[in-house]
Structure 1
């Protein structure tokens, strides 16, 4: 039987690449995005495009129902939809931070609540939550963003224990910085609309300049690398729960495994 996956945030970036990857692997794919009219990607008999806003429970329930009605079952869900934020915490409006957590944390929780009855009725399923390397190594001017992704990571690991006896697995995919997603451009635009106090400006300029430093070829992941890792997380049977992708992610994880003193020395050299 052809397996079926539902992907949130399919309009661009990781989501679009993930849809493409699962289709190439022969899966049925439910590509969800806030505005289905904006879909200009692949066309396939195995593709269903539906509206889904992770902040709207009604739209989530409607999309999940459409998925099961069209394909008869749902084997995996990929919580990819997310919001970036590059800003100084002090001047970031609380409403922006609330929106960040509504999208990056509560959104996946809503989707999981909607799919659990489906997975339970059919005897199992796989949840893949896309987090960030910032969940392992917090980065400058992304404190709130990293906090949201860390919350999703910890939630995923705790939930894994609760669902294991029901043959429902929870996996996380942790990408590093991927220049081609447009994340930096989008978050910089959002940052520009949030004025920073003058005291922060020298440090902000230094951190923005760091993005212009070109790493070795192949060091940073691409959208397709992340999508391939999502597919692995959705199909892997080794029991591994966290899948990291990108040289920066792997280096950060290795640094985090050092002693506290060594890690502090490493992060100070990287970001101070």
Structure 2
């Protein structure tokens, strides 16, 4: 029986993926910062355990708990993350570091912790959750897009590094999804004294309103993750949601000026 380890499994994409793989007969190591809040532990062959990707000790403990329970980790889903938006000037250095520590450094530490077990077996898959925001950008998203562009680059490099060892790397790029991304998983910074950025904030609100009018469900992303994990070919990137396909196709087809102009057009009333 195969085993999946998920970070950020308390809700949204992480929880939907845990349920999707469990339904297929997989063992699931569902990790989150507050295990007491999860109802996944009631399911057979599911281990719910604490993991904070910014806490190295919790990473090591969770991986070891999974190995002790199931004997192996066949698939790592790096899902934990959040979005920080706002003018760069409005963010303290601590908040900047928190965004990169969670979305990038935490992902790297998780991967590093699991790789020795996969390398020993010459088998395994790492699926990293990126975003359409790893290929395109929106206003006031300097920090979030910086992290997701990093996830795209490090994942592609790891693909070369790990393929000869029998370990596959996959990138999943969701579009707008019905999750808590805009709630507790959203860090918006705006200093009222920085009035010069007020028009950009208003434009961002209009843009997000238009783009999120028909978001996909977390289950849509979970299905794409299932496909990415089980695809026998060498495809690296998998899109999740029709909006992701449409926007990323347009980004590839247009030059920078044309695409940026099309995004600006969506910011207007």
Q: Per the shorter chain, which TM-score range?
A: over 0.9
Q: Secondary structure at the match of 1:244?
A: strand
| Residue among 234, 256, 264 paired with 1:268 | 264
Q: 1:49: Cα distance to partner? A: 0.7
Kindly indicate whether the alpha-carbon contact (under 8 Å) linking 1:91 and 1:194 is maintained by their aligned counterparts in 2: yes
Q: 1:214: Cα distance to partner? A: 7.6
Q: Is 1:237 aligned to 2:232, yes or no?
A: yes
Q: Is 1:252 aligned to 2:252, yes or no?
A: no
> 1:49 corresponds to which residue?
48
Cα deviation digits, residues 87-120 of structure 1 (max 9, x gap): 1222111211100000000001001111111001
> 2:184 corresponds to which residue?
186
Cα deviation digits, residues 22-77 of structure 1 (max 9, x gap): 11111000000112122123622210011111112221111111111111111100
Q: Secondary structure at the match of 1:257?
A: helix
Count of residues paired in the alignment: 267
Q: 1:149: Cα distance to partner? A: 0.7
Kindly indicate whether the alpha-carbon contact (under 8 Å) linking 1:85 and 1:142 is maintained by their aligned counterparts in 2: yes
Kindly indicate whether the alpha-carbon contact (under 8 Å) linking 1:220 and 1:247 is maintained by their aligned counterparts in 2: no
Distance in 2 of aligned mates of 1:196 and 1:136: 31
Q: Secondary structure at the match of 1:32?
A: strand
Distance in 2 of aligned mates of 1:108 and 1:37: 23
> 1:141 corresponds to which residue?
140
Cα deviation digits, residues 109-162 of structure 1 (max 9, x gap): 001111111001122100000011111111112121011011011000001101
Cα deviation digits, residues 174-223 of structure 1 (max 9, x gap): 11111x212123366x326654611221331232134444877xx53211
Q: What does residue range 48-87 of structure 1 map to in structure 2 within 5 Å? A: 48-87=47-86
Kindly indicate whether the alpha-carbon contact (under 8 Å) linking 1:127 and 1:170 is maintained by their aligned counterparts in 2: yes
Q: Is 1:12 aligned to 2:8, yes or no?
A: no
Kindly indicate whether the alpha-carbon contact (under 8 Å) linking 2:87 and 2:190 is maintained by their aligned counterparts in 1: no
| Residue among 195, 216, 221 paired with 1:221 | 216
Distance in 2 of aligned mates of 1:187 and 1:120: 33
After superposition, the CA RMSD in angstroms is 2.0
Gap regions ≥5 residues in structure 1:
none
Higher mean Cα deviation, 104-113 or 196-205? 196-205
> 2:121 corresponds to which residue?
122
Kindly indicate whether the alpha-carbon contact (under 8 Å) linking 1:105 and 1:151 is maintained by their aligned counterparts in 2: yes
Distance in 2 of aligned mates of 1:122 and 1:231: 21
Kindly indicate whether the alpha-carbon contact (under 8 Å) linking 1:132 and 1:175 is maintained by their aligned counterparts in 2: yes
- Sort the Cα spacing of 1:120 and 1:84 in 2 relative to 1 into closer, same or farther, 3 A: same
Q: Secondary structure at the match of 1:45?
A: coil
> 1:3 corresponds to which residue?
2
Q: What TM-score do the two structures reach when normalised by structure 1? A: 0.91
Distance in 2 of aligned mates of 1:113 and 1:164: 15
Distance in 1 of aligned mates of 2:193 and 2:146: 20
Distance in 2 of aligned mates of 1:264 and 1:192: 24
> 1:205 corresponds to which residue?
202
